[in-house]
Structure 1
Amino acid sequence: MNLLEQAESDGDTFHEHSDVHFQMSCDLMNEYLKPQRGESILDFGCATGRPAVELASRVGKSGRVVGVDIDERRIALARAELIRLHSSHVPLTFVQGSIKEAMRLGPFDGTLSNMVFQWIKPVDRSIIMKDIYSSLKPGGRFVFLVFPTQTQDRFIFKDILSLLSPSGSLGSVWGIYLESVSTWLQLCTDVGFDIEMSDVKMVEGEEPTVEDLVALVEAAVPAFKSYMLSEKDVERLKQLYRSGSHEKIRYQCRVFTVLARKPL
């Protein structure tokens, strides 16, 4: 399974700019997953572990949370945070690797996956989806959020990354594989999931400067580093987002959320 294994990663950068990811994960817990005391939950693509820690607080000492991520540095940061929280009192385990390693610690009542599947090559997705399905208990639920095909003019990943590869697709160059809503749903139903809820909405955020916006994209895209942009590129982005007057800049992106359930 190749989940950007060849790409450079900077877990520290991700952790520093993970507030947006964390808030989105909490929204997924509140609105869709709704973890309960005593449940066993898998956080697939847990990054530096902030959402998994929150999940652990919700399932309590009688429950269990397993966070898995392929990125070694991000898992190292997650484990360091676990030590700081006194791991013997936290029902939380972090696993570095693929979902195959995490499945051994199942079965799970629920799985959360925030902004992960668009990084997985289409050829690998059905295999991973089958593994998630297999790792759940009957009646178990799977909540995931992805980027669908973007239709708005402003899409921060496209705006920034196309400065470096104007003729290349986000998938072939940067490993961001956007799909239509129907494709994401089909991926679930093909392995046996029932779809309970699905929703497309626009997420808005703001950063103090364009430089902070670039750092946010650097945190999300393993193969991208901010030093790749020239001063001219940065100036172009400033004009694009109208941040020259030192106003906070706003950005938008369309996201798609699914609540699927394994039949009883």
Structure 2
Amino acid sequence: MNAEAVRDRQRAEWALSAPGWARYRANFTEPGQVINDELLRLAGVRPGRHVLDLACGVGNPAFEIAERVGSRGSVLGLDLSPEMVAAAAARAEECGIANARFRTIATEGDLGVPPGGFDAATCRAGLQYMPDRPAALRAVRAALRPGGRFAAMTIGAADRCVPFRLSNAVLARHLPMPATTPARDEPGPVDLSSPEELAGLLRDAGFTDVETRSFEAPIFEADDPVQAWAMFVRTAGPVMALYASLEEDRREAISDDAVRAFAAEFPEGPVRPTGEVLLAAGTRPD
């Protein structure tokens, strides 16, 4: 695996999907509140804390962290994608959130922060995409003060996550699956779906008191199947890149099939798909 090539591809994909994440921010944040609650609890986020949020995206959970730590605390969100960071920074300015800052990083192992400068750190749905996870975790550990806590969240296997299960089945009916999945040695959305593997990574990076848990939680909420598929496509960079390479009639056929699939799964009311969520947390030793 060429790590820099993976990062370059991911930057291009996140650039495509950043507007979708900004547009549908509330559709993901509000239904997934239980995820943030547990992630921030495990990280020890509370008033007055200074928190690092790695792979911050458009600001979930950074904005909630900012609210919880209050004016005496702060959150710094870091991400590979300039477009994601720009969307988060624009939201902070728009809402007058003074204790949240955002900036880009070149790699997940070079965070550009002072050693021991943070009380806690989080990474929601980002670690699985990183080509050098050990370097990322060592960098996070170094950024924490002794006794500081880090908590990460990833997604379980695709067959235990309704949006991925439905979308993979739809895409497989229209396209060769190698076109819709990462190369075997490259990171992807469900690449860290084992609690044991997640815990092992934290321990290998020098974290202690490692704990894990998994549970089923809502991933997003859409008004109807049409919006559900639009949200999935516009927030999934690889799918957006794939769509851009297809002729219009094929895109329409895939969309029609996907809407039928979501409608069959959710015949009434809003579309609120769930998925298995994995969390792991550990402490920087004294």
The TM tier, using the shorter chain, reads: 0.7 to 0.9
% of aligned pairs identical? 19
Write the distance in 2 (CA, Å) between the matches of 1:105 and 1:218: 39
Matched, 1:36 2:58: no
Matching residue's letter, 2:273: Y
1:193 paired residue number: 207
Matching residue's letter, 1:199: R
Matched, 1:176 2:183: no
Q: Deviations over 1:57-112 (max 9, x none)?
A: 2222222211111111121122222223446xx22221112452442486211111
Structure 1 residue 230: deviation in Å?
2.6
> SS of the residue aligned with 1:170?
coil
Aligned length, in residue pairs: 259
Write the distance in 2 (CA, Å) between the matches of 1:197 and 1:256: 11
1:216 paired residue number: 231
Matched, 1:26 2:48: no
Unmatched tracts of structure 2, length 5 or more: none
1:70-149 equivalence runs, <5 A = 70-86=80-96, 90-97=98-105, 98-99=107-108, 100-104=110-114, 107-121=117-131, 124-149=132-157
Write the distance in 1 (CA, Å) between the matches of 2:85 and 2:221: 27
> SS of the residue aligned with 1:199?
strand
Write the distance in 1 (CA, Å) between the matches of 2:146 and 2:232: 38
> SS of the residue aligned with 1:208?
coil
Matching residue's letter, 1:258: A
Write the distance in 1 (CA, Å) between the matches of 2:23 and 2:153: 21
Matching residue's letter, 1:62: R
Indicate if the aligned counterparts of 2:115 and 2:142 stay in contact, CA closer than 8 A.
no
CA change 1:5–1:234 in 2 (3 A) is: closer
Greater helix fraction, Structure 1 or Structure 2: 2
CA change 1:242–1:83 in 2 (3 A) is: closer
> SS of the residue aligned with 2:226?
helix
Unmatched tracts of structure 1, length 5 or more: none
1:11 paired residue number: 18
Please point out which of 212, 216, 240 is paired with 1:202: 216
Matching residue's letter, 1:140: G
How well do the aligned residues superpose, as a CA RMSD in angstroms? 2.8
Write the distance in 2 (CA, Å) between the matches of 1:26 and 1:111: 13
Matching residue's letter, 1:157: F
TM-score by length of 1: 0.84
TM-score by length of 2: 0.78
> SS of the residue aligned with 1:128?
helix
Indicate if the aligned counterparts of 1:52 and 1:67 stay in contact, CA closer than 8 A.
yes
> SS of the residue aligned with 2:16?
coil
Structure 1 residue 234: deviation in Å?
2.6
Write the distance in 1 (CA, Å) between the matches of 2:28 and 2:62: 12
2:166 paired residue number: 159
